[in-house]
Chain A
Amino acid sequence: MDCKRFEELLVDFVEGELDNSGIEAVKTHLLTCSSCSREVEEYKEIQRMLSEESIPQISSEVQARLSKAARGELTKDTPPFWKRWYYSPILVPIFSSALAFFLWVSYGQNNIDFLPPDRDVYSTEVMAKKMPASEEPSSPALGQSASEEVGSHPGRAFSKKTSPIIPKASALKSEAQVAPLPAAPSESEDLKGAMETDKTSEFEAQAPEASLKSRELNEPLRQDSPRQEFAKDEMLKAGDEKEERLEINRSDERMLLYSDPHDDYQSKLDLALKQQREGNCDASIKTNQELLKANPYPPQNIAEKAYLSLAECYEQKGDLDLAILNYKNVQEAAFDQAHLAKEKIEILERKTGLLKAKELEPSGVGESQKTK
Chain B
Amino acid sequence: MIAAVGANLPLPGQIDTGDTAWMLAATALVLLMTPALGLFYAGLVRAKNTLNTFMMCVGALGVVTVMWAVIGYSLAFDGGDGFVGGLHDAFLHGVTLAPHPGLRIPDLLFMAFEATFCIVTSALVSGAVVERMRFGPFLVFIGIWSVAVYAVLAHWVFGGGWLEAHGTLDFAGGVPVEMASGFSAFAAAIVVGARKDYGRQALLPHNAVYVLLGAGLLWFGWFGFNGGSGYSAGSSGVLAFTNTLLAPACALVAWFVLDLFRDRRVTAIGGATAIIVGCVAITPAAGYISPTWAMLLGALAVVPSYAIIVWRPRTRLDETLDVLAAHGVAGLTGILFVGFFAQLAWNGRANGLLYGHAGQLAWQAVAVLAGPAYAFAATFVILRVIGMFTPLRVTEREEAIGMDVIQHGEEAYTTGEGAILVGPEGGFEEPGRRFGERFFGPVSKSSRLLRHK
Specify whether A and B are partners: no
